[in-house]
Every structure is written in C-alpha cells, then in structure tokens.
Amino acid sequence: MAFADYPVHTLMTITTRPDLVFVEGQGSWMTDQNGKRYLDFLQGWAVNCLGHSAPVMIDALNAQARKIINPSPAFYNEPMVKLAELLTQNSCFDKVFFANSGAEANEGAIKLARKWGRKNKSGAYQIITFDHSFHGRTLATMSASGKAGWDTIFAPQVPGFPKAILNDIASVEALITDETVAVMLEPVQGEGGVIPATREFMQQLRALTKAKNILLIVDEVQTGCGRCGSLFAYQLSGIQPDIMTLGKGIGGGVPLAALLSTEAVACFEPGDQGGTYNGNPLMTAVGHAVMSTLLEPEFLPGVLARGEHLRTRMLALCSEFGLEGERGEGLLRALQLGRDIGPQLVEAARELNPQGLLLNSPRPALLRFMPALNISFEEIDEMTEMLRGLLKKHA
C-alpha cells in the first residue's frame, strides 16, 4: 500500500512522524510499507531488548493467550506471581506492583513515597528531582521531570518537585527541608542526553538520604533490565535504593512496567493503588520470558561486550572526524558530535538506500544508540559504516 493511501490524518498529532508505515520487524531490522529495510538502533526507544518479534516473546504470548488473558486485577494469576518472584530474587527489593507504562510506575513511586512520608515523616511530601531528568508524561511525572518548558506547558504543575543538579551533592543538600520525603533520579539520564550519574554521586546520595531518613528512588525505566550491562543500573554503583521503577525493557515491547520497593517502604493499603490491567497475565508472562532470557548466564556479559564494541567503533569515528566524544553505560550510549548536526544525520540515515538506518538525536549535538541487547557485532559494524558514510557528507 502506498503511504498516501493510509488515513494517517485520523490520528492526533503528538509528534512529527516521517511518511512511513512500519509493517514488519525481525531482530534488529524493520521493514516499511514499500519493503525497504532499516537497521534499528531505536528499538522502540530502548524497549525491544530482545529485538523485534523475539521467538521467546511470541511463544509466551501464544501460550498465555490460550490459557487465560484477563482474570481481573482483583485475583492473583500465575505469571504475575512468577515475575514478581523473579524480580525480587534478583534485586534488593521485596515487593512489586505491576503497571502498564513507565509514567504509571513513576506515579506509583511518587504516591508510595508520599504515603510513607505521611506515615513516617509527619506528612513530608517533597521529592527532589533533577534538571534535564525525564520521568514521564502524566501531570505528576511531567512536574517531576526537569525538561525545559515543562513547568509551564500544562500549568499549574503538581507541586513538590524541587530540582537539583545531577552529580552535585551540595545542590541536593541545599534543597532538603522537613518536607522532603525522597530523592528520585535516573542512574543515567536517558532523554536528557545519556548523562550518567557518577558512582561517587550515587554513593553520596545514598549516604545523604540515609542520614536524613529520606527515600532514594531510582527511575530505571530506561536504564534497567540489562540496558546498562548489569540487570539494573543501580547495581553499577554498589548501592541499594528504597524504590525502583521499571518499564521499557521489562516487557521487551509489550506494555508492562513495575514499581518495586523494600519491605519497610511497601506501605500501600487496600484502595491506595490499582488499575484495570495491572499484573495482567498476558503481559507479565511476556515479562517473565524476557527477564528469564536476560538472566541466562551469558546474556549480560554479552551486553557489556557489545557496548564495548560500539564504544570502540564510535571512538574511531571521533578521531576520524574530530568529534567530541562518546559516553554511556552498556548499550545505552551516545556520540557527542560537537556540532548541531544530530537531527540532520537522523533524517539522512533514514533516507539511505537501499537500506535505511534508524537513529535518535535527543539533543542537536548528540546521537543516542539504544539497539537490541542481542544485536550482532556485525550489525554494530554495519551501523558504523553507514554512519561513517553520512559523517563524510555532513560532518
């Protein structure tokens, strides 16, 4: 079917999309309505950790769809319990609440922290977040986010989210008052441009929050589930947070997210939290298949090796074209271009023929890479060669 024959005008405009309709995906490749193939370094925005249409996900979906799709959130179901057990056995957390999106998991984290503050800190409710952070698109999570312009766009904001500066512990300390209940951050700021919180900063934050009896919340919607080379990114800095949120990779492409906390913090009472699809067995069965794959012995070392390979290739491009540098953890990486050619490169990469390349530029002088965690080394090389060709023209 030709693009013009798709009634795309019936969709609300929420972003500028290219004139393409994707019809198939397989591993690290997607195919558009004309049959053109694209090497995918977006993977649903760091979501499809096993690539497109991973067989283990298809099997889990099929098997669960034949058993039961929706008993109701008022009852336990098997995949929900099995996935919660897997997550708690492999993290420092004891309790799980499943949600459908990262923003919803973060809303849950905010509610849980405020409830804990009501019970344990005479109603303290403020959650310190960070400039350039991203926590989602609901009113509260937009208010928590430190994105420029988001403080006014749907004013009035949800109050109670003072902003500190990442990797600057004094800026956090300066904001702490009797009303402070938590500090929330992404271990690597994803949408902000792949900016890692340093190991030292994470440790300082943990020490400070412990000393002040404040909760530490990690938003691992983007960094969790193997993306940074460890199962969860907080593990890279050797600390134990009180609350963690997961999304994106946990479902490998299906809508699934999770809110986790320690036993001491899990203070929701019946009626406080819920949702129609939360813990839905169709999604949690897929989540269990995805997480089980990530936990296979060779998987996470493979992510680190691929991340190192990508890093080496990007550093070579840096010296060849005089670019600024490279940063990130595992397979959440960015190439610092040193000039504002990111959006131009994204478009030219997509328009390459016969095969296109899908890239992302969260800031004009930056390219972000978030490929499948099982991408092949050859595909990383292929992307590098395509990008080299583009840099010759545009850099």
- Which chain residues interact with ligand PLP by CB under 6 A? 101-103, 106, 134-136, 186, 190-191, 219, 221-222, 247-248
Which residue's CB comes closest to ligand PLP?
A: 102
* Alpha carbon distance 344, 240 (integer Å): 41
Q: How far is CA 265 from CA 116, 235, 277, in A?
A: 7, 19, 24
Of 146 and 307, which CB lies nearer to ligand PLP in the complex structure? 146
What is the closest distance, in whole angstroms, from the C-beta atom of residue 211 to ligand PLP in the complex?
26
Of 91 and 391, which CB lies nearer to ligand PLP in the complex structure? 91
Does the CA dihedral 262-265-271-273 come out positive or negative?
negative
Of 121 and 248, which CB lies nearer to ligand PLP in the complex structure? 248
What is the closest distance, in whole angstroms, from the C-beta atom of residue 18 to ligand PLP in the complex?
20
How many C-beta neighbours within 10 Å does residue 280 have? 25
Q: What values do phi and psi take at 37, rounded to 5?
A: -100, 150
Of 106 and 126, which CB lies nearer to ligand PLP in the complex structure? 106
What is the closest distance, in whole angstroms, from the C-beta atom of residue 244 to ligand PLP in the complex?
11
Contact in structure between 293 and 299 (CB atoms under 8 Å): yes
Radius of gyration of the chain (CA): 21
What is the closest distance, in whole angstroms, from the C-beta atom of residue 169 to ligand PLP in the complex?
21
Of 48 and 106, which CB lies nearer to ligand PLP in the complex structure? 106
What is the closest distance, in whole angstroms, from the C-beta atom of residue 297 to ligand PLP in the complex?
28
Helices 299-321 and 377-394 meet at what angle, rounded to 10?
20
Of 280 and 386, which CB lies nearer to ligand PLP in the complex structure? 280
Q: How far apart are the first and last CA of the chain?
A: 36
Of 135 and 306, which CB lies nearer to ligand PLP in the complex structure? 135
What is the closest distance, in whole angstroms, from the C-beta atom of residue 127 to ligand PLP in the complex?
14
Per DSSP, the residues of 179-239 read: TEEEEEE-SEETTTTSEEPPHHHHHHHHHHHHHTT-EEEEE-TTTTTTTTSSSSGGGGGT-
DSSP state for residue 157 in the 8-state scheme: P
* Alpha carbon distance 217, 240 (integer Å): 10
Of 279 and 356, which CB lies nearer to ligand PLP in the complex structure? 279
What is the closest distance, in whole angstroms, from the C-beta atom of residue 112 to ligand PLP in the complex?
16
DSSP state for residue 252 in the 8-state scheme: B
| Residue 357 bridge partners (DSSP) | 39
What is the closest distance, in whole angstroms, from the C-beta atom of residue 102 to ligand PLP in the complex?
2
